[in-house]
Structures are given as structure tokens and as C-alpha cells.
Structure 1
Amino acid sequence: MTNRPADNRDQFRPEGHDNDNFLLTTVVGSYKKPKWLDRARELFEDEDTNFGTEEWEEAKDDAARLITEEHERSGLDVVVDGEMRRKEMVEYFAHRIDGYEFNGRVKVWGHNYFDKPSVVDEVEYGEQWLVDEFEFTDEVASRPVKVPITGPYTLANWTFNEAYEDDEALAYDLAELVNEEIEQLVDAGARYIQIDEPALATTPDDHAIVGECLERIVADIPEEVRIGVHVCYGDYSRIYPEILDYPVDEIDLELTNGNYEQIDVFTDPEFTLDLALGVVDNHTAEVETVKEIKENIKQGFKVVPPEQLTISPDCGLKLLPREIAYQKMENMVQAAREVEAELDAGEIDVPVAGETASADD
């Protein structure tokens, strides 16, 4: 078993941070694309226009720069570029992995479709996936950059498997490729990697497969590189406490949308990893007040002490209008800073590990 978690949080603490306590603030990843970027994609895909590769690359660069700066303006400690270069979380990677092919779109829900890929041959690592994206974002950002990457279990589970005996074998091969990509990212300077595994919540009995995938992913990754896993939407009691055995530093969970009804799941046994807690709902356009978010943050203290708590939205914000998403982020950061100050002043009682009393009792 790989030894995690590691003490790698303080590298993301801003210089001159006002409070002694530090609640790391970040986002899960995706963000609403500017309307002009969607229009640029349409022009690029239209053979009757003169909007070529050079113009398309410039448009994506401009969008990535814009959203990175928007994240920084909100006050986040760790930023991403809003995944401006990605259209969909599986499709993007499948286009870059040898062994995948596309045969047309499938319906997901309502009138929403995506190009669900097929694995038709043994998967192999070809071109780099995210290194250029990270290097660009890291250059334009003045704050640390997190890299979200779709995990191997989800890549396998949300794919038509036409080449492997089962999805488990496919997931393990994909895990080796994810490991190779992360090694490339680390060489480029990345220090915060988030593995997205939403499929775990839909088939939670396979948590052992995800654990084995993670073992392969983090092999030889230095401990100073922070590794998190994002899991959203599901009955967490079916994967807890097993996820505590994952060789990662942080588990990122969606809990706001369910009004924290599952928070007590994580109090017994003691939560030994860092917790990235969703404190704003990505499914509603109603902007939570700073006061409301502060109460949500305190829910996290039922599970971990402040030094193990990361603050983020429930999930990616790409379905929300940009102005709403920005206000949620800005209020989230303000709430975190106010809770830090109240912790410094001794105004918040943090329960002892293993207790389930309310953080503000």
C-alpha cells in the first residue's frame, strides 16, 4: 500500500495569509465557457469558413486566460482554467488515447448527447493529454494550479468495451496511462492533481477496483504532489470506510446538494484523509450567502479538523451562468476567510475526532 496522505497542504497557503488557520479554497474543475468560445468552435468545425487551427488555438488560449484570471479574482487559493479546452470529461481523453475510436453520439438525458467512445484495441499512451494545458495555465496564473484528470475507472465504465475481457482489465491498463501522464505533469511542475471518478458513485461496489487503479496511478509520484479523488452523487455509506484505504491525500465529496444528510457517514470510523467539502450547490442558480456557506463549512468540522479541510463547490460549475458561478466562488472564499478568523479567535468549537456533535454547539 502506498503511504498517503502526506503533509503537502501548506505549499498552497498564500504568502502573507491573514489568519493562523488556513482552509484551502479551490474548485472542482469545469466552468461555463464564454459564448464566443462556443461560437469559435462552431466556426472551426464548419468547413465553409476560414477559421482554422491557428484561430481556434488562439480562442482557447484566450478563454483559458480569461477564466483563470476570473478564478483568481474571486480569491481562490488554487485555480484551474475551467477546462476551457475540454468539451466532455471522457471524450477529451479518449481522443488522445490509442485504442479508442468514435462511432457517433449517444443520448445521455433530455436532449443532451455526447460522443461515447469505444475501445477497439489495447489502449496505449500516445500524445500527452494535459501538459500543454497545465503549462499555459501555470504561466498565466499567479496562484497554484490544480489539474483535474478523468480517472481510469470512469474512462472504462463510460466506454463501450469491445477489446478487453471486462471493464476491470481495461481500467487497470488505463490506470497505467494515467500514471504516465501524471509523471509528465509532475515533470512540468504540477503539484496538485485531482482524479475524477464520478462513475464510482453509480457502481459503488467496485470501490476495490478504483483502489487498485489508484495504487497504479500514484506509484512513484512524489509525496509533495497532492493527489485528490473527486466522487459525486451517490450513497456514500456503500463506499465508506473503504475509501480511507485509497492512496491519496484528499477525498472530494458532493454534500451540499443533499443538505448534508450523509455527513454523519464519515464520522465513524474516523476520517483519516483530508476532506474536500462541497459547500455551494452547482445545480442551483441561487447564490448562497456568506452566512449560509459558513454554516456549510462548519459541517466539515464534524468530520475533520480545520487543517484537514478543503473548501470547494459540490462539483464543476459549467452548467451555471458565469456571473452566478463567480458569485458562488467569491462568497465561498469570503466565508472560508471569516471562518478562519473565527477559529483564530476561539469562537468556533471544533469537535474532538470521533465525536458527532455539531460544530457550532
Structure 2
Amino acid sequence: MRLMSKLLPTTVVGSYPVVKGSGIRALMDPLKHAVEVAVADQVGAGIDIISDGQVRGDMIRAFTSHLPGIRGSAVVGKVQPARQPITVGDTRYALSRHPKVKGILTGPSTLAHGLALETPFYRNKDELVLDLAQALAVEAGYLQDAGVTVLQIDEPIFSTGAANIAVGREAVNAIAARLRVPTSLHVCGNLGGVVDDILRTNVAIFDFEFSNNPGNLDLLSEKDLRGRMIGYGCVDSADPGIESIEAIKKRIEAGVDVFSPEALLIDPDCGLRMQSRDVALGKLKNMVVAAGEVRAEYTG
């Protein structure tokens, strides 16, 4: 599967530092300027498949605050789809500035484990996960209709051991099955002990971190991806320093040796929200240059 005609296309995992605006315009929408900055920086850095920046709150509340059946951090009734699209407005703005945009959802299992059950409607989190998947599938459909190139589902909880991955996989599969665009599953952290369960998910792309968890490369080198792509985290999102082009290039080359250039989608380990804007932009720029240098070695 190829998302673009060129080898080693670049993307982001999602979030970007929040740069708030000021003045009368900011009173109407305090975070609109942050969306514009995030999109402009990604485009300026040369990213091939951008995001909307995910600047409107943390990854849990950004979705749960819109879902009927949830109040604050508590589930108080049956979870239903949002009454209107949640992320489509910002995604459409990104699409107005760049032809290739990634739609992003926080996964059902990660959402469920950020919530307390305060209703007898659900006996446990596993039942909640499946209803969250149905609600998120509606949002995924809106994003597909808006024109996203790929739909990413974030499930950081999968690497922690806290989630029932069999149920989580069923939930992700339920969302992916309703889409025509490729689905990517992002799981950060060390994959030891969970990688086989994760790779049974029916998605086109697995997005993992390899710079902060280099052991994931050895782990994946022994697995049959069955033609799926790897979102290859080659920039350490937790490091406040800007890695050199050469350091990133070496990481990409290590990935190419294991997966082949046709299989890789180049991105940071995770979102860059916790870094300063200068650091986040510097990391993206160096990643784009490093990917270009490796690409040139294969395309002449």
C-alpha cells in the first residue's frame, strides 16, 4: 500500500504546541490561531501529510466532552455519537491549506480508561469500549467525507498492559471496517509483550515509536507485517533538544534496513504538544530534510 507516489513520505502523529491568538478574533475562538499556526508550521516544514494540530484540549476531553452519556470525566448513561462533528471544522481548515491531511481520533480503549463508570448501564470498561467505538465511527465517517487521506486511531493505552487488547482490537476493527480510506493505529511506548496482539488489528498502517524505544525495531524485525505500512517514529517527541539531520537520517536508515523504504511513513514518535513551537518546528524541518536525503539514495 502506498499513500503517496514518493518513497518515505512524512507525516505527524498529531498534536502541536498551542500558540494562542489575541484581540477580538481570539474572543470568538481562542484556539483558531493555534490551529492556523500548527497547520502553517507543518506546511512550512514540508510535511507531506499534515494534521490540524490537535490543539483543542487533551486527547481524552477533546472527544468525551462532546459525547452524550458522558459528563465531565464520568460515564452517566449510554454513550451516543456526538450531535455534530467534533474535529471536522479544523480538519477542513487544514485541507484548505494542504491537499493531504490525516484525521485523528483518540481510540475507544484509551478514552474508556480515562473515564469513571457512574452508571449501571455498563458493567465494565470493555462494554464501554465497544459503544465508544460506535460513536467514534460516526466521527470517522465525517472525516472521511471531508477528504482526509488517512484516519489515525490513537491507542497509547495498548502498550501499558492496562487495556483488554482483544476488546480494543475489536473496537478499532469496527471503526476501520466502516472506512474506505486507510486506517492507522498509533501505539506509543515499548511494544514488548503486546506486539503480536496489536499486529492482529485490521488496519493498513501501524504507527510506533522507534527513537525513544529503539528496541521496538528489533521486535518488529521478527514479525510479518503482511503488506501493512509502518509509521516510523524517528524523532524523539519527549526530547527538548532538536536532533540533528544526521541523527534522524541514521534512524531512518535503520528502519529502511528492516522494513524497506516502500513500507515506511516517516514521523515523530508521538505528538509534539509538550515542546515549544521553535523546538517542534525544528524537529519537523530536520525530519523532512533527513527523509529527503535517504529518499534521494533510492531514487537518484
TM > 0.5 fold call: yes
2:13 is matched with which residue? 28
Superposition map of 1:91-106 within 5 A: 91-102=61-72
- Identify if the C-alpha distance between structure 1 residues 249 and 146 changes in structure 2 by more than 3 Å, giving closer, same or farther: same
The CA distance in 1 between the partners of 2:162 and 2:224, in whole Å, is 20
Q: CA deviation at 1:311?
A: 0.6
Q: Match for 2:59 among 62, 65, 89?
A: 89
The CA distance in 2 between the partners of 1:274 and 1:281, in whole Å, is 20
CA contact (8 A) 2:10 2:47 kept: yes
CA contact (8 A) 1:150 1:196 kept: yes
CA contact (8 A) 1:205 1:238 kept: no
1:65 is matched with which residue? 36
Q: Match for 2:165 among 197, 207, 213?
A: 207
Is structure 2 residue 247 aligned with structure 1 residue 292?
Answer: yes
Superposition map of 1:300-319 within 5 A: 300-319=255-274
CA contact (8 A) 2:26 2:32 kept: no
Is structure 2 residue 72 aligned with structure 1 residue 129?
Answer: no
The CA distance in 2 between the partners of 1:33 and 1:269, in whole Å, is 38
The CA distance in 1 between the partners of 2:186 and 2:94, in whole Å, is 21
Superposition map of 1:152-231 within 5 A: 152-163=108-119, 164-203=122-161, 206-222=164-180, 225-231=181-187
Q: Which residue identity is paired with 2:230?
A: L
Q: CA deviation at 1:243?
A: 2.0
Q: Deviations over 1:55-102 (max 9, x none)?
A: 444442232122201111101001112112x11110111110001112
Q: Which residue identity is paired with 1:130?
A: T
CA contact (8 A) 2:88 2:143 kept: yes
The CA distance in 2 between the partners of 1:221 and 1:257, in whole Å, is 31
Q: Secondary structure at the match of 1:122?
A: coil
Q: CA deviation at 1:204?
A: 6.1
Superposition map of 1:228-267 within 5 A: 228-234=184-190, 236-258=191-213, 260-267=214-221
The CA distance in 2 between the partners of 1:340 and 1:191, in whole Å, is 21
Structure 1 gaps of 5+ residues are: 1-6, 14-20, 44-50, 103-116, 346-361
CA contact (8 A) 1:271 1:303 kept: no
CA contact (8 A) 1:282 1:316 kept: yes
State, as a whole percentage, how many aligned pairs show the same letter.
Answer: 31
CA contact (8 A) 2:109 2:163 kept: no
Q: Deviations over 1:116-164 (max 9, x none)?
A: x11011101132211222112212x123111111011111111112231
Q: CA deviation at 1:279?
A: 0.7
Q: Which runs of 4+ in 1 moved over 4 A?
A: none
Q: Which residue identity is paired with 2:41?
A: E
Q: CA deviation at 1:205?
A: 6.2
Is structure 2 residue 45 aligned with structure 1 residue 74?
Answer: yes
CA contact (8 A) 2:231 2:267 kept: yes
Q: Which residue identity is paired with 2:34?
A: A
Q: Match for 1:277 among 232, 238, 244?
A: 232
The CA distance in 2 between the partners of 1:296 and 1:57, in whole Å, is 43
Q: Secondary structure at the match of 1:121?
A: coil
Q: Deviations over 1:267-293 (max 9, x none)?
A: 223233211111111111211111111
After superposing the two structures, state which structure 1 stretch, 158-167 or 202-211, moved more.
202-211
What's the TM-score once normalised by structure 2's chain length? Answer: 0.93
The CA distance in 2 between the partners of 1:239 and 1:301, in whole Å, is 23
Q: CA deviation at 1:8?
A: 4.9
Structure 2 gaps of 5+ residues are: none
The CA distance in 2 between the partners of 1:22 and 1:282, in whole Å, is 23
Q: Secondary structure at the match of 2:152?
A: strand
Q: Secondary structure at the match of 2:80?
A: strand
1:9 is matched with which residue? 3
CA contact (8 A) 1:205 1:239 kept: no
